[in-house]
Amino acid sequence: MSQDAEKLIIFDTTLRDGEQSPGISLDATEKLEIAEQLARLNVDYIEAGFPVSSQGDFEAVSLIASRIQGPVIAALSRTHLSDVDRCWEALKHAQQARIHVFISTSPVHMENMLKMNEAQVLSETRSGVARAKEHTNDVEFSPQDATRTPLDFMIEVLQAAVDSGANTLNVPDTVGYGIPWDFGALIAYVRKNVSGDYVISTHCHNDLGLATANSLAGVAAGARQVEVCVNGLGERAGNAALEEVVMALKIRGDQFPGIYSQVKTEEIARTSRLVSRLTGYPLQYNKAVVGRNAFTHESGIHQHGVLKDRSTYEIIDAESVGQKGSQIVLGKHSGRHAFADTLSKMGITIVGDALNAAFARFKELADRKLDITEADLEAIVAEELGTVATDVYSLEELHVSGGTVGTPIAKVVLSSENGKVEASSEGNGMIDAAGKAIQLATGTKANLIGFSVSSVTGGVDAIGDVVVQLESDGIKVSGKGISTDVVEASARAYLNAVNRLARANARKATTPEVGP
Distance between CA atoms of residues 220 and 214, nearest Å: 10
pLDDT band at 297 (very low <50, low <70, confident <90, very high): very low
Same domain, 88 and 70: yes
pLDDT band at 310 (very low <50, low <70, confident <90, very high): low
Report if residue 169 sits inside a domain.
yes
Q: Is the pLDDT of residue 349 over 60?
A: yes
Report if residue 256 sits inside a domain.
yes
Report if residue 127 sits inside a domain.
yes
314/82: higher pLDDT:
82
333 a known binding residue?
Answer: no
Same domain, 265 and 302: no
Same domain, 336 and 471: no
Q: What is the mean pLDDT of the chain?
A: 87
Report if residue 488 sits inside a domain.
yes
Q: Is the pLDDT of residue 325 over 60?
A: no
Same domain, 201 and 338: no
pLDDT band at 386 (very low <50, low <70, confident <90, very high): low
Q: Is the pLDDT of residue 401 over 60?
A: yes
CATH of the domain at 210: 3.20.20.70
What's the mean pLDDT in 156-170?
98
Report if residue 284 sits inside a domain.
no
pLDDT band at 308 (very low <50, low <70, confident <90, very high): low
CATH of the domain at 406: 3.30.160.270
pLDDT reported for residue 187 = 98
Q: Is the pLDDT of residue 389 over 60?
A: no
pLDDT reported for residue 284 = 83
Contact status, residue 426 vs residue 407, Cβ threshold 8 Å: yes
Is residue 246 classed exposed, middle or buried when 0-12, 13-18 and 19+ CB atoms within 10 A define those classes? buried
pLDDT reported for residue 301 = 45
pLDDT band at 375 (very low <50, low <70, confident <90, very high): confident
The region, left, alpha or beta by phi > 0 then psi within -120 to 50, assigned to residue 238 is left
**Residue-range definition of the domain harbouring residue 345:** 329-385
pLDDT reported for residue 291 = 75
What's the mean pLDDT in 249-254?
94
Same domain, 422 and 471: yes
239 a known binding residue?
Answer: yes
Q: Is the pLDDT of residue 216 over 60?
A: yes
Distance between CA atoms of residues 348 and 377, nearest Å: 10
- Give the residue among 153, 97, 92 at the shortest CA–CA distance from 125: 153
Total structural domains within the chain: 4
Distance between CA atoms of residues 282 and 145, nearest Å: 29
Same domain, 339 and 230: no
Q: Is the pLDDT of residue 458 over 90?
A: no
Report if residue 223 sits inside a domain.
yes
What's the mean pLDDT in 206-221?
98
337 a known binding residue?
Answer: no
Same domain, 362 and 452: no
489/352: higher pLDDT:
489
pLDDT reported for residue 140 = 98
Report if residue 132 sits inside a domain.
yes
Same domain, 87 and 111: yes
Same domain, 317 and 344: no
Same domain, 260 and 408: no
Same domain, 248 and 164: yes
Question: Which pLDDT tens digit goes with each residue over 91-111?
Answer: 999 999 999 999 999 999 999
The region, left, alpha or beta by phi > 0 then psi within -120 to 50, assigned to residue 239 is beta
Distance between CA atoms of residues 39 and 412, nearest Å: 40
What's the mean pLDDT in 454-483?
81
Q: Is the pLDDT of residue 348 over 70?
A: yes
pLDDT band at 312 (very low <50, low <70, confident <90, very high): low
Same domain, 220 and 300: no
Distance between CA atoms of residues 13 and 44, nearest Å: 11
| DSSP per-residue codes, 18-77 | GGGSTT----HHHHHHHHHHHHHHT-SEEE---GGG-HHHHHHHHHHHHH--SSEEEEEE
Segment (H or E) for 172? strand 168-173
17 a known binding residue?
Answer: yes
Report if residue 188 sits inside a domain.
yes
313/36: higher pLDDT:
36
